[in-house]
A = this chain, B = another copy of it.
Amino acid sequence: MNALPPKIEQDFVALRKASRMLRQLDTGAKNALLLALAERIDREHQAILDANGIDLENLDASTTPAFRDRLVLNEKRIGAMVESLRQVAALPDPVGEVVESRTLANGLKLRRVRSPLGVILLIFESRPNVILEAFSLAFKSGNAIALRGGSESRTTAEVIYRLMRETLKERGLDENLFYGINDYDRAIVGALLKRNDLIDVVVPRGGERLIQFVQANAHMPIIKNDRGLCHAYVDDEADLETAMQVVKNAKTQRPGVCNALETLLVHEKVAPAFLPRLYEACSSVGLEWRCDRESLAILDGRPGIKAATSEDFDTEHLDLVLNCRVVKCLEDAIEHIEHHGSKHSETILTRNEKKARLFQSEVDAAAVYWNASSRFTDGFEFGLGGELGISTQKLHVRGPVGLRELTSTRWIIDGEGQVRS
């Protein structure tokens, strides 16, 4: 389990070598590559769709519709991939940006300069459109990336990797600037996670089990894309119409994503008025409720209303299921989020600015909203031009992982012979 197959070892050595060249590559050359790649993907989209058809045919009959949907590509999804490549080309290059500069009393000139991380390993599951989004962000931020996808999408991935290699070659660049791992033996992931000599950062993008495995086994830093167990707190000073629109949007507009709402917390004073109103507003989409004792007392008897189990408040349903709890005050809401939240996106609905600021300061999440839907936590929406994921960790970066977030800073120091006394 611990040794890497020699072929993979060699490929990583080549990737690492190419990453040194990539650090130097100027912005124009990087953008030209991304635009050429967009054009080629667009032109050869039928080859991708054909390959995707083979992967879909090979799927187990037992596969869930949600899993199948993540694997499917169509003209619209390929169009979005092409558009995303063009958007990343249009964004500013973070590499070389001077973040801070100062001159010391002895004349030493210090600059803190944005620099690539080096070699990134992305482990993802099934969704083949992740490949180009991840490659384009890594490439533009000066990082060489190794991609390890799920075996279900292997045929689709192979075609995309081929188009990437062809474009790099056509632009006179090293084909080893990325590495699409096409060996799907599970033991390889475990072996890779020990190789901090080859890999600078690992990004697991998938289910909880994958993330826990990586966390327990990686010898290199992780950029974690964990689950989103997001809350909305409706305060007794909330505008109930606004609260209703926001909560409905956060829960039902696209329930399967990480920035969707999972748990509603309502102040006891407004719960009797608010909950039946929200229930009515969501009745058409077939929302299922998991209620605590107090909210159950208000909504009981209606279709779709159930008592919550002790696990519900710790479950990311990713479905049309809403946990609901009545709280006595703002502090209780914050306390609940502290214990059950996943540090992703949290929302307060209130007209009282002081309460909003307290919530935004005390709640320790990547994004904390006042009177808006948590569905906005997203690299495109925040203007970062896509994302390698949404980080819920506390070190390095929190929230959407865009270009800048794939860099760190180095100190560049110019002297005239200064020595320390």
Contacts and interface: CB of A to CB of B under 8 A. Distances in A.
A13 to B, nearest CB: 12
A338 B20 contact: yes
A371 B321 CA distance: 63
Give the 5 A-B residue pairs with the shortest CB-CB distance, closest first: A372-B415, A249-B419, A375-B420, A396-B396, A242-B417
A135 interface: no
A313 B178 CA distance: 31
A309 interface: no
A315 interface: no
A338 B21 CA distance: 13
B411 A399 contact: yes
Interface residues of A, number: 69
A329 interface: no
Copies in the complex: 2
A222 interface: yes
B372 A410 contact: no
Interface stretch (A48-56, A167-175, A361-369): A361-369
A222 B421 CA distance: 32
A311 interface: no
Contact of A367 (B362, B399, B410): B410
A190 interface: no
A196 B221 contact: no
B23 A372 contact: no
Given A24-B361, A246-B415, A367-B413, 11 more contacts: A104-B382, A108-B376, A115-B398, A239-B417, A245-B419, A356-B414, A368-B411, A369-B414, A373-B415, A373-B419, A376-B413
A395 B398 contact: no
Contacts of A412: 360, 367-368
A411 to B, nearest CB: 4
A325 to B, nearest CB: 20
Contact of A395 (B368, B399, B408): B408
A200 interface: yes
A102 interface: yes
A364 B418 contact: no
B371 A417 contact: yes
A118 B370 contact: no
A245 B397 contact: no
A253 interface: yes
A394 B361 contact: no
A202 to B, nearest CB: 10
Contact of A221 (B110, B200, B370, B395): B395
A245 B393 CA distance: 45
B115 A418 contact: no
Given A383-B104, A419-B375, A221 B368 contact: no
A376 B420 CA distance: 7
A332 interface: no
A185 interface: no
Contact of A253 (B364, B366, B381, B420): B420
Contacts of A221: 221-222, 393-396
Contacts of A371: 414-418
